[in-house]
Amino acid sequence: MSDGHPISTLAERLTPAPGVLPGLTELEKLLRPAPIPIHFEPVTTPLVRAGATFGYVITPALEPAPTAVNVLLRDGTLWFDPALLGAPLAGASGWAGVPFADARLSASGNVQFTGGEVVLDAAATLGLELSSAVHPATGVPGDPIGRDFLAATLTPFPRANVEFAPGGASIELVGEGLATVFGQQVRFSPRPGVAAGTTDLPVRCVTVPCDAAPGTFTVASSLSKELELSGAAPITGGAVAFPIVDAGPDALPQPVNA
């Protein structure tokens, strides 16, 4: 403008004018600056040993990334090569995903936080203490078939310790889990020393076995009229499952809780 003011000032001066000169409405729209959308991309930090990437830590853009061992991480996802868990998963391809509400790191040996990566030497160990993140599963309100699903409740294990050692990886469940399904309450406790396995639910998942009590599951409540269940069956055990996704780091989703 000739008086040195920005063009947005002219747009503001035109705002009261449409009642007098309706044709200025379109001019006002053209002159008014369009809002610029702001989108923050998550931060993906590779985990590297001997030049090979064995996992990723993905954190929200406005939350801390793993730039030092003493950084507290929030609302992120740990993805790692499931083959590191041992023979039952030796042929697995993709990345196993573990969501967390917060995570604390620990390191033994030479672990460098540099260049946007966490780099371990051959003898180093990286640990992550993860607090469970819960993503509620929802169904259609009033769905006559899904009533039992909607009525079920799940309290996950409060924490899990994941360790990446020179010889492989391990997942240790901490605390107690609780589920109520068909009116039956089942408690889950860690089963130390048992290797992780795999199952299809229908997507392939890493499974971490755990003990379950009581020893018998009894249907106490069946709300669905289309598929009404009754009776009892023995409980042989339980497991916590984490999905395996075969995708690049930019395409990894937020994993669904088991």
Q: Are residues 28 and 90 in the same domain?
A: no
Q: Are residues 19 and 96 in the same domain?
A: no
Query: Higher confidence at residue 30 or residue 225?
Result: 225
Q: Are residues 117 and 173 in the same domain?
A: yes
In-domain check, residue 196:
yes
Strands 204-213 and 197-200: antiparallel
In-domain check, residue 126:
yes
The number of distinct structural domains making up the chain is: 2
Instruction: Give the model confidence (pLDDT) of 209-226 as tens digits.
Output: 999 999 999 999 998 887
In-domain check, residue 5:
no
Q: Are residues 34 and 111 in the same domain?
A: no
Q: Would you state the pLDDT for residue 4?
A: 56
- 25: containing domain: 11-39
Long-range CB contact pairs, 80-84, < 8 A, 24+: 80/47, 80/54, 80/55, 80/56, 80/162, 80/164, 80/169, 81/54, 81/55, 81/169, 82/196, 82/198, 82/206, 82/244, 84/54, 84/164, 84/168, 84/169
Q: Are residues 151 and 209 in the same domain?
A: yes
In-domain check, residue 202:
yes
Mean model confidence pLDDT for the chain? 86
Report yes or no: 154 and 179 within 8 Å, Cβ to Cβ.
yes
In-domain check, residue 68:
yes
Tell me the whole-structure pTM to 2 decimals: 0.80
Q: Are residues 20 and 68 in the same domain?
A: no
Rounded distance between C-alpha atoms, residue 89 and residue 66, angstroms: 27
Q: Are residues 35 and 126 in the same domain?
A: no
Q: Are residues 129 and 177 in the same domain?
A: yes
| Maximum Cα–Cα distance across the chain | 85
Q: Are residues 51 and 67 in the same domain?
A: yes
In-domain check, residue 257:
no
Q: Are residues 21 and 63 in the same domain?
A: no
**Over pLDDT 70: what percentage of the chain?**
80
Of 137, 173, 133, 132, give the one whose Cα is nearest residue 153: 137
In-domain check, residue 194:
yes
In-domain check, residue 101:
yes
Q: Are residues 89 and 112 in the same domain?
A: yes
Q: Is the pLDDT of residue 25 over 80?
A: no
Q: Would you state the pLDDT for residue 257?
A: 45
Q: Are residues 96 and 60 in the same domain?
A: yes
Mean pLDDT along residues 54-65: 94
